[in-house]
Amino acid sequence: MKKKILIALFMLATCKSFCQQAYTDSLHHELANAGADSSRLKILSSLIEEYSNSQFDSAIYYAPDAFSLARKLSDKKREAWLFFRMSLSYAGLGNLAKAAEMDLKGLHLAEESNDLHLQANILNTLGKYHSEFKQFDRALDYLRRSFRLYEAAGSEEFSCLSLNFISDTYLESEQIDSAEYYNRQAFQKWNDSQIKNPTFIKMTMLRTRAAIEAQKKNYDAAIKDLHESLIEAGKTDLIEGNYLLAKVFLEINQADSAIVYARKSLLLAESIVQYNGMADAGNILATIYQRRDPQQAILYYQKVIAAHDSASSQMKTNVISNLVGFDEQQRQYEFETATTAYQNKVRQYALISGVAVLLLIAFILFRNNRQKQHLNWTLQQTLTNLRSTQAQLIQSEKMASLGELTAGIAHEIQNPLNFVNNFSEVSAELIDEMNEELGKGDIEEARAIGVDLKDNLSKITHHGKRADAIVKGMLEHSRKSTGEKVLTDINALADEYLRLSFHGMRAKDKSFKADFSTDFDPTLPKVNVVPQEIGRVLLNIINNAFQASAQEDLSGLGSDDKRNLEGLHPTVIVSTKNLGEKIEISVKDNGHGIPDSIKEKIFQPFFTTKPTGQGTGLGLSLSYDIVKAHGGKLEVISLDSQGAEFCIRLPI
């Protein structure tokens, strides 16, 4: 069985025939003249490939130089391949334990270099070795991993070989059904994939099927498969095939046929000096002639003994020195590797120590600066939070302004809508009266009613247009600002936002009572401004004025309060004035005024005198910034308890 395993492994390693003398001679000549390390490594690899199929000691002899060059060139893939070839060579010499050791080293390197096909080859040989060790479960694990890698690498033909090796393992463990299943799977995959080459894989599959059939006593099928396996076979396959045919014929007591095939196998083994083949064929012939011709049997036994002696002699004379040399080179390499690793570790420790000192210094510096950095971070976070809060408050202020503006618009529109509704109801009644008069035949009265009806319809049209004008105006001024300045009628803008503020106050508070008046300069020119922004400023200041003028008397001032003494009614006055190069907009109220103690603070962000929840403190601050952005100025004039006046001056 060991002979069959080794032949399968050698065929796995190469699809070529065994080396020819002329080829190896040419490789030796090239090696003698090779200069570069890469060229020498390539030639040495070719020699090892040839010798690892038959002249195992020679393969091992050239291995140390090849390993040295592969490591020098940092070629891990080549080094993995060399370990695989050494595995085959040790297996050829019968040292399967050493062969498995070489494979495990090669497998590690093949995985690092991500060579799927080489990994699969190594796993295949490991599977066969462990099968020989009778460790069948581990063998099957290696072989199945090999099959999956061949599939991943797209190697259909070698996938078939792995399946067949699995079949061989089950056969050796006497699980005939499983062996037959995997051999059948291998043939099905071979046929489905329409694989033609390499032919040695099919020959291996045929020999396995023949062994299965022989186990099942289907000798005719076994003989047929073995005959087919000899087609296009090389000498090594012919030695194996003829030997197996001789075994089958001997088992079915066809001694003459067994002699024929055993002699063929012996002659072929002698021609290439294959001692294992010579011994196997000689054993069969000696067994047969022991009953027929004892003298001839003795001659064959002598050949068997001579073959074993020659194999042992070859091991002792040619191989031992090479094995020792290779092992010594491996030990030297491992020693140097360990020494280098130790030196690297020492350097690493020194480096770590140096880094530790630097880290200690850095830590001291870091600790000294940590408090400052933490403070900076805290300040940055605080600033970020303040900016976020400011943005939210600004948005809140805008939404509050929008609510007031919306309330003013609704109230402004309500008046013309009331007129439209009232006149519509009256007109409906007039139509009924007209119909009655027409029924009575009183044409004159009907005409008089028609005149009243027409007058009502005219009023409905007038108030409808008024509502339409209000909506269009509000849409124009509430449209999202593009930031572009346009020539704007400031008188019209001030009047519009005054009325919006007034109606907004009344809509929000039914008890609100205040008057307003205007004093617009008819000579005021149009000014280049962003109307939405100036409108926001006016709305904010006028709202404040209405709120200030409509406040109740301060507690404790009842009889002394000037407004009470003079019987003043809450009033807001909006006026404009042409100052030549500038225009002025004034918003004046007759409220309590602004105390001197807070007059300097009113334009500061977030400052407010309103109760909590009724103001953000951003209205005047934003207004101040908007006027300033227009190149103007916003000022306040106020005496305590005598009202306040806000003046907006803008350049023409």
d(CA 468, CA 414): 12
Q: How far apart are CA 583 and CA 631, in angstroms?
A: 12
pLDDT computed for residue 417 by the predictor? 81
Per-residue pLDDT band at 91 (split at 50, 70, 90): confident
d(CA 208, CA 226): 9
User: Peptide bond before 198: cis, by omega within 30 degrees of 0?
Assistant: yes
With a cut of 90, say whether residue 521 has pLDDT above it.
yes
Task: Say whether pLDDT at 166 is over 90.
Answer: yes
**Bridge partners for 585 per DSSP:** 576, 648
What is the pLDDT, as a whole number, of residue 555?
A: 39
DSSP symbol at 580: S
* Stretch 181-188: mean pLDDT: 93
* pLDDT for the residue 311: 63
Q: Which pLDDT band holds residue 427 (cuts at 50, 70, 90)?
A: confident
Q: Looking at 127-136, 156-165, 206-215, 613-622, which range is the least confident one?
A: 613-622
- Rounded average pLDDT over 519-542: 92
Instruction: Kindly indicate the confidence band of residue 572, based on its pLDDT and cuts at 50, 70 and 90.
Output: very high
What confidence score (pLDDT) does residue 579 get?
92
For 193-207, how does the pLDDT look when each residue is reduced to its tens digit (9 = 90+)? 877 676 778 888 999
pLDDT tens-digit series, residues 272-298: 777 778 888 888 888 888 888 888 888
Q: Where in 92-240 does DSSP place strands (E)?
A: none
* Residue 9 pLDDT grade (very low, low, confident, very high; cuts 50, 70, 90): low
Q: What's the pLDDT at 15? A: 44
pLDDT score, position 325: 46
Report the percentage of the chain scoring pLDDT > 90.
Answer: 25
Return the C-alpha torsion angle 364, 369, 371, 376, nearest 10. Answer: -160
**CATH architecture designation of domain 481-651:** 2-Layer Sandwich (3.30)
Q: Is the pLDDT of residue 430 over 50?
A: yes
What pLDDT does residue 341 have? 64
| Structural contact between residues 584 and 632, judged by C-beta atoms closer than 8 angstroms | no
Element at 582 (helix H, strand E) = strand 582-589
Average pLDDT taken over every residue of the chain: 80
Write down the pLDDT at residue 541: 93
Question: What pLDDT score was predicted for residue 402?
Answer: 55
Closest by alpha carbon to 539, among 648, 612, 637? 648
Alpha helices in 14-135, H assignment, sequence order: 21-33, 37-51, 56-72, 76-92, 96-112, 116-132
Tokens of 619: 């209205």
650 CB contacts (<8 Å, ≥6 apart)?
A: 490, 527, 529, 534, 582, 583, 585, 627, 630, 631, 632
CA torsion, ordered 561, 566, 569, 570, to nearest 10 deg: -40
User: What pLDDT does residue 553 have?
Assistant: 47
Band (pLDDT 50/70/90 cuts) for residue 604 is confident
**477 vs 202, residue with greater confidence:** 202
Taking 70 as the threshold, does the pLDDT of residue 397 lie above it? no
Tokens of 483: 């930031």
- For 349-393, what is each residue's pLDDT tens digit? 778 888 888 888 888 888 877 878 778 888 888 787 777 766 666
Higher pLDDT pick, 344 / 599: 599
Residue 84's beta-bridge partner residues? none
Euclidean distance between CA atoms 62 and 329, whole angstroms: 11
**What local confidence, expressed as pLDDT, does residue 17 receive?**
41
- Lowest-confidence region among 203-212, 381-390, 501-510: 381-390
Using DSSP's 3-state secondary structure scheme, residue 651 falls into: strand
Compute the average pLDDT of residues 562-576: 73
Quote the percentage of the chain above a pLDDT of 70.
81
Band the pLDDT of 123: cuts 50, 70, 90.
very high
| pLDDT at residue 518, as a whole number | 94
Angle between helices 320-440 and 443-478 (to 10 degrees): 160
Looking at domain 1-154, what is its CATH homologous superfamily? Tetratricopeptide repeat domain (1.25.40.10)
So what's the pLDDT on residue 21? 61
Structure confidence by residue, pLDDT tens digits, 302-340: 888 887 777 666 555 444 444 444 455 445 545 655 676
| Residue 446: per-residue pLDDT | 82
3-class DSSP string for 359-385: HHHHHHHHHHHHHHHHHHHHHHHHHHH
More confident residue, 434 or 410: 434
Rounded CA separation 187/229 (Å): 14
198: Cβ–Cβ under 8 A, 6 or more apart, which residues? Answer: 11, 15, 157
Q: How confident is the model at residue 209 (pLDDT cuts 50, 70, 90)?
A: very high
